[in-house]
Structure 1
Amino acid sequence: MLVGSLAITLNLMSVALLAFFIGVVVLSVSAPLCFSKLSHFTFRIRKLALWLLATGPWWIGAICVAIFWPRLEGGMSASWIANFAHWHHADLFTFTSWHGLTLLVCSLILTWMLVVIAIQSRKKSLSMDNLLELCDTNEMPNHNSHQVYSLQLTIPTAFTSGLLSPKVYLTTALQKQVDQQELDIIIQHELAHVRAYDPLFKMIFALFCRFYPKSVNNILMQHYSLLTEQMADHAVTHFHDSLDVAQTLINVAKLQQKLPINCDGMQLSYFANEQISQRVYRLVSPLEKTPVLALVVAIAAFIGAPLFAVSTVDSFHHFIETFFTH
């Protein structure tokens, strides 16, 4: 048994893990309601909402620890804190208790998940490296500073690959089947991904989403992929008419109907890979601002989630103690 500051730290870690678990459950249940309203938000608000959802369990755990910590040290005794935080005997920690078991099991699970993610990411990276090595790759003229490359492939596609130094790749098959204006639209779209470092942030976003159930994880990734594509589409409208951009999306989508490439790679951003109808609709009918009511509801939901998690930590804690030794 441990007593004192170390025991408090380990108990707080168990609080964080418990709050993390509660956050995953709460957000998994409430996420479908959020998804149905995302289309009413502007790009900036949607991006913030998706990142808050993806990282939600982590900041819920952090908020719970931040709330409990001053009470444990005697630095805060406000009554409203006491109404939520009912943690007892925090200065005692036993490795054979459910606290110790929770820390051990969760540490093993987290380590295993990180190893699996690292292996999968490495495999995808090697696959892309092998593809680029096997194909004849040439830097396209007039785009030297942006690193736009022509890829000798019979598949009509364009994509952005790379984390810290992303590059744009357009296959020769695609270049032969589009006119000059469409080609420039495609290049400007991919350069928008480069400037935003979308492959890097898409991979980070995917890492956070892996802690959700598979169904929620897939929906989160679909919404984030759609958002990055729509933001890149919007960036192109500074150089071309939105109707021309929409028509190019439709034309390239027709060319890619039988595309035998997995377009869901977490380190890639493809042009015209999915959800074309929604992207075309947003180009034709851009959203100028987020409705106030939708914004208020979203803010209330994000404030309520950590408070609910904090209020249930102690109840769930004592529920566990009815079956396990503390």
Structure 2
Amino acid sequence: MWKTRSKLLFTAGAGLSGIILLQMGMYGGHMAFGWDLNFNVFEICRQLLHALGIDYVVDGLTWLVTLTFAVAGWFAVRQCIATRRAFLQLESMRNLQQTEELGARYGELGSRIWVIDYDKPAAFTMGLLFPKIVLSSTLLSMLDQEEEAAVVYHEAYHMRHYDPLKTWLLQLCSSLLFYVPVLRHILDHYKTAREILADNEAISRTGTPAGIGSALLKLLRNPSRGTSKPLMTAVCSSFAETSINYRISRILDPHQALTPRLPWRPVMISLYVLSLLSLLFALALI
């Protein structure tokens, strides 16, 4: 069920965003390079607004497309720089001995798992194209062998499925297309679905929900022990950042079902925006 829900959420978010951004890209190509467009919503909007004598709205449409792609480029560059800086910072914090020992215990992960000297419990997967698992020495000192294995297998699921990259793409789209607020709702539920699937992987690999459940409880009780400054921000899939209370209650009651509440206001606003574009499209064809 959760795999299907995750796929549907990602497909819905990426598909809806892709359609809008593709139309914007085609319109931008037409304006910049004279591409011949057939049935492009943004070009039809531009022609209709021009025919109605409100050229300033045409200029606004052009600026919307230009700013959307300029901001997308800026976000992408900023994220790449932040990820690079974060990896450099983490490299300087690596505990080579513990990293080697942990890598030996989980040989399938090899050099893709790091242990860092950090005085707060931390476990996350970071990196867009070449993700790595990062665990803090403080966290490892809190966990027993079963809990440690559950956390590692949880993060290994995120790493193998490139969850930081997928989450960042949906996050980027929800920020760029802020006037389609249902995308934010999709992003939130997608992140929850991915965490539950990673929990399921840990339970399957360890053979018991005890390890993942007790690890979550320990992190819930000790969320910010220590005095170090927070790690540099970069997109990552964090072990105890998303829906931790629901995940614990679900482990205690595996038959519990999460019924997403339909956010009527974001849905209605999104439908209004999409309907307005469709209406302009239809009017232009009359």
Using the size of structure 1 for normalisation, the TM-score is: 0.61
2:13 aligned to 48, 53, 58, which one? 53
2:217 aligned to 244, 250, 268, which one? 250
User: Relative to 1, partners in 2 of residues 1:168 and 1:198: Cα closer, same or farther, differing over 3 Å?
Assistant: same
Give 1:107's aligned amino acid: V
Identity of aligned pairs, percent?
A: 20
Structure 1 stretches lacking a partner, 5+ long: 1-40, 64-71, 74-86, 295-300, 319-326
Residue correspondences, number: 253
> Which has the greater radius of gyration?
1
Instruction: Let me know the Cα RMSD of the aligned residues.
Output: 4.5
Deviation at 1:269, TM superposition (A): 1.1
Give 1:234's aligned amino acid: N
User: Relative to 1, partners in 2 of residues 1:201 and 1:264: Cα closer, same or farther, differing over 3 Å?
Assistant: farther
CA distance, structure 2, for counterparts of residue 307 and residue 123 of structure 1? 34
Give 1:104's aligned amino acid: T
Matched with 1:36 is none
Q: Which moved more, 1:214-223 or 1:151-160?
A: 214-223
Contact 1:42 1:289 in 2 (8 A): no
1:312 paired with 2:275, answer: no
Deviations 1:20-54 (A, max 9, x none): xxxxxxxxxxxxxxxxxxxxx74422441354135
Give 1:256's aligned amino acid: P
Using the size of structure 2 for normalisation, the TM-score is: 0.68
User: Relative to 1, partners in 2 of residues 1:305 and 1:235: Cα closer, same or farther, differing over 3 Å?
Assistant: farther
Contact 2:129 2:165 in 1 (8 A): yes
Q: Structure 2 matches for 1:59-208, cutoff 5 A?
A: 59=19, 97=55, 101-102=59-60, 104-138=62-96, 139=100, 140=102, 141-146=104-109, 147-208=112-173
User: Relative to 1, partners in 2 of residues 1:62 and 1:153: Cα closer, same or farther, differing over 3 Å?
Assistant: closer
Deviation at 1:114, TM superposition (A): 1.8
SS in structure 1 at match of 2:237: strand
Structure 2 stretches lacking a partner, 5+ long: 24-36, 39-43, 262-267
Deviation at 1:274, TM superposition (A): 3.3
Deviations 1:96-128 (A, max 9, x none): 956853553133212331233124313421331
CA distance, structure 2, for counterparts of residue 277 and residue 288 of structure 1? 13
Contact 2:123 2:239 in 1 (8 A): yes
CA distance, structure 1, for counterparts of residue 176 and residue 121 of structure 2? 35
Contact 2:125 2:158 in 1 (8 A): yes
